[in-house]
Chains A and B, each alone.
Chain A
Amino acid sequence: MMEQADKLLEVTDLKVHFTLPGGGWSRNKQILRAVDGVSFSVAPGDTLGIVGESGCGKSTLARALLCLVPVTSGSIKFKGQELTTLDDAAMRGIRRNAQIIFQDPLASLDPRMTVGNIITEPMRALMPELSRTQRHERVLAMMQQVGLLPSHINRYAHEFSGGQAQRIGIARALVVEPALVVCDEPVSSLDVSIKSQVINLLQNLQAERGLTYLFIAHDLTSVRHIAQRVVVLYLGRVMEVADRDTIYRQPRHPYTQMLIAAVPIPDPRVAREHKVSAVRGELPSPLKPPSGCAFRTRCPWAIERCAMERPELRVIENSQVACHRAEESLGSKLSG
């Protein structure tokens, strides 16, 4: 386990709840627990992967870490500084150090701005000390680093393919030299051949600049190549945390096992042996999560206790698992 001082980001029991109006004339407001008691930490220079299905709260978590949505309770410490209580002016200083890359590159780039303006804008807002020429030089250097040509500077985002647009998004996030970059599904919408290009680019930039990444994804494949540690989320709760190699070799939580088994294997012979679908059921509504363990309605090993008592995250060998039956290693039959 890491020492306290080594942590760049430390999240403790973070909750983000949204209040929704009740249906019809009902005065009962509904509470959506998008993030419900999540804790983790990231050491400088590391990559933490956060994985879960859509609706598991991973994007809310990403936004909450940068204080882009209000936090209900819990603590976010960045370089030892508590973020949840900061005012807007103090937060501005943090933004220079913590940036985000979004899922849909074309939707997150202003269609009326040129590539040069898009990459310059964060510097105008967060690094006012730079002169116009300094900014221009930085833009060109940044573009080169992400693999864009200098001639692209006066073009508009829609003239680029998805993969190139994501390079612009990466340049915009990195130009203010942040320490932490939250990558919210940066490759999910890209083609297979382009996906690997962007993952390799992110890894190169991390090595050159000593960046820390929080890499959010809905499947375990891309995370496997970039993250040292992986957090598995389900309905706003942490199901399992482990080192990359541990989580792929020995997934302990039934949900992690299901996620791994669901990934199609690009080999027709292997794929056809696996004919039995390992995936059961549907994601329950986050407005009405099941009692006890959130995953129990889809879990092949659920027992009565799972409905009664919410499992806490506990340490088992090299992993942290929130499952009452984690020691029984039931999944070895499943994941094969």
Chain B
Amino acid sequence: MAQLLEIRDLSVHFRTEDGLVHAVSHVDFDLGEGEVLGVVDESGSGKSQTWLAVMGLLAQNGYATGSVKLHGRELLGLSPSQLSHMRGVQLAMIFQDPMTALNPYLTIGRQMTEVLQWHQKMRRSDAEARAIKALEAVHISDAGSRLKTYPHEFSGGMRQRVMIAMNMLAEPEILICDEPTTALDVTVQAQILALLNELRERFGTAIVFITHDLGVIAQIAERVAVLYGGRMMEQADVYTLFEDYRHPYTEGLLRSVPRMDEDRTERLLTIPGNPPNLAMLPKGCPFSPRCAYVEARCQQQMPELEVIAPGHVRACFHAGELGRQETGA
């Protein structure tokens, strides 16, 4: 698999009234061609910010340091016009709530053809033909007449399909999906996941899938990065991560997912405490206040990422076995 995206030592900071907030600290990611990377993170952990930084879409008060290379070309520091030539063609992103990402005043057709007319200088009729093809690829029936409709005329699942179709128009190399199914019903989620898998097989698109749902990760990802408080906790291929995880946070997440395929337990296992507040992260490991294996040094110092096996890294001081998670209310 050829290397597509290489992120090194990326940090994202925000200047706020309460001082500098470190949303993401020193993370590394690699993405190969056609690969699906799952990114797991608790809400409020700045999981979207890494990828907004890659897209050059950070808010005004935010800035990124480190390096993001696409085909060896540095993306951080590109001018807005250079970035907008790259977005849509090489990198595309879909968001959690399709309604806020679509313009309610413009027809679906207008919003879809805009990309092609702008990036590829296509004529309108050609662009429309492409848009119809893209809608058909995401299984929207009667695509021709759908072009004349407005976003509110679609259901939530259909809107997300439109978003996917729109992002696939220019056949980008990387599709970043920021919790695309969190707001949807499980039935619709299953359909969207199947669709993403299908598109990936057809077009060879690499996918970054951001979610806090490990069930979704198990279905779609090949490699998984687990973050907490903007820091990398563990990264491995999907089978290793589910079967031979080595980080207490991964363990806690896996054990607190209610499962349908196993016998019901009376009590759900949980991770005690609350999600991290990025403005008030503890000095050492951000997970230390909630960790069942916490040691004195965890509160003082962030553990370095160590390589456990080829392709499997973790950041944790705990040396012994896992399996001490408790239930709590």
B42 at the interface (CB under 8 A from A): yes
Asked whether, in the complex, the Cβ of B215 is within 8 Å of the Cβ of A265, the reply is yes
A97 at the interface (CB under 8 A from B): no
Question: How many pairs of A and B residues are in contact by the CB < 8 Å rule?
Answer: 140
Main secondary structure of the interface of A (DSSP, over half): helix
Which residues of B are at the interface with A, using a C-beta cutoff of 8 A? 42-44, 155-158, 185-191, 193-194, 197, 212-219, 221, 238-239, 242, 252-254, 256-261, 264-265, 267-272, 274-275, 277, 327-329
Asked whether, in the complex, the Cβ of A264 is within 8 Å of the Cβ of B155, the reply is no
A147 at the interface (CB under 8 A from B): yes
Asked whether, in the complex, the Cβ of A219 is within 8 Å of the Cβ of B218, the reply is no
A194-212: contact bitstring with B at CB < 8 Å (1 yes, 0 no)? 1111011101100000000
Report the Cα distance A295→B270, complex, angstroms. 36
CB within 8 Å for A262 and B261 given contacts A163-B274, A193-B270, A197-B329: no
Report the Cα distance A277→B329, complex, angstroms. 35
Asked whether, in the complex, the Cβ of A277 is within 8 Å of the Cβ of B275, the reply is no
Report the Cα distance A282→B185, complex, angstroms. 11
Report the Cα distance A177→B217, complex, angstroms. 41
Task: List residues of chain A with CB within 8 A of the CB of B275.
Answer: 161, 163, 191, 193-194
CB within 8 Å for A265 and B261 given contacts A54-B156, A271-B219: yes
Asked whether, in the complex, the Cβ of A147 is within 8 Å of the Cβ of B190, the reply is no
A260 at the interface (CB under 8 A from B): yes
Task: List residues of chain B with CB within 8 A of the CB of A264.
Answer: 186, 189-190, 193, 213, 215-216, 218-219
Report the Cα distance A283→B155, complex, angstroms. 9
Question: Can you list 30 pairs linking A and B with CB atoms under 8 Å apart?
Answer: A147-B329, A161-B275, A163-B275, A193-B252, A193-B256, A193-B270, A195-B256, A197-B270, A200-B327, A200-B328, A203-B267, A219-B185, A221-B260, A225-B268, A248-B264, A261-B190, A262-B190, A263-B186, A264-B213, A265-B215, A265-B218, A265-B219, A265-B260, A266-B214, A266-B257, A270-B218, A272-B219, A279-B187, A279-B190, A282-B155
Report the Cα distance A179→B214, complex, angstroms. 36
- Of all chain B residues, the one with the shortest Cβ separation from A56 is B185
Report the Cα distance A147→B239, complex, angstroms. 36
Asked whether, in the complex, the Cβ of B271 is within 8 Å of the Cβ of A193, the reply is yes
Report the Cα distance A252→B221, complex, angstroms. 32
Cross-interface CB contact of B189 among A195, A262, A278, cutoff 8 Å: A262
Asked whether, in the complex, the Cβ of A53 is within 8 Å of the Cβ of B187, the reply is yes
Task: List residues of chain A with CB within 8 A of the CB of B218.
Answer: 264-268, 270-271
Asked whether, in the complex, the Cβ of B242 is within 8 Å of the Cβ of A266, the reply is yes
Task: List residues of chain A with CB within 8 A of the CB of B257.
Answer: 192, 266
Report the Cα distance A218→B252, complex, angstroms. 24
Asked whether, in the complex, the Cβ of A277 is within 8 Å of the Cβ of B190, the reply is yes
Task: List residues of chain B with CB within 8 A of the CB of A147.
Answer: 329
Other than A200-B268, A263-B260, give 4 A-B pairs with Cβ distance below 8 A: A197-B329, A264-B215, A270-B218, A271-B218
Asked whether, in the complex, the Cβ of A220 is within 8 Å of the Cβ of B43, the reply is no
Cross-interface CB contact of A262 among B186, B197, B270, cutoff 8 Å: B186
| Residues of A229-250 whose CB lies within 8 A of B | 244-245, 248
Task: List residues of chain B with CB within 8 A of the CB of A225.
Answer: 258, 264-265, 268
A293-330: contact bitstring with B at CB < 8 Å (1 yes, 0 no)? 00000000000000000000000000000000000000
Asked whether, in the complex, the Cβ of A162 is within 8 Å of the Cβ of B43, the reply is yes
Task: List residues of chain A with CB within 8 A of the CB of B213.
Answer: 192, 264
- Of all chain B residues, the one with the shortest Cβ separation from A260 is B260
Cross-interface CB contact of B212 among A192, A267, A279, cutoff 8 Å: A192
A27 at the interface (CB under 8 A from B): no
The residue among A193, A263, A269 with the most chain B CB atoms within 10 A of its own CB is A193
Cross-interface CB contact of B261 among A54, A191, A204, A267, cutoff 8 Å: A267
Asked whether, in the complex, the Cβ of B238 is within 8 Å of the Cβ of A191, the reply is no
CB distance from B221 to the nearest CB of A (A): 8
A84 at the interface (CB under 8 A from B): no
- Of all chain B residues, the one with the shortest Cβ separation from A223 is B258
Cross-interface CB contact of B242 among A192, A195, A267, cutoff 8 Å: A267
Cross-interface CB contact of B329 among A193, A200, A244, cutoff 8 Å: A200
A258 at the interface (CB under 8 A from B): yes
Task: List residues of chain A with CB within 8 A of the CB of B185.
Answer: 53-54, 218-219
CB within 8 Å for A224 and B186 given contacts A264-B216, A277-B191: no
CB distance from B325 to the nearest CB of A (A): 11
Task: List residues of chain B with CB within 8 A of the CB of A277.
Answer: 190-191, 194
A72 at the interface (CB under 8 A from B): no
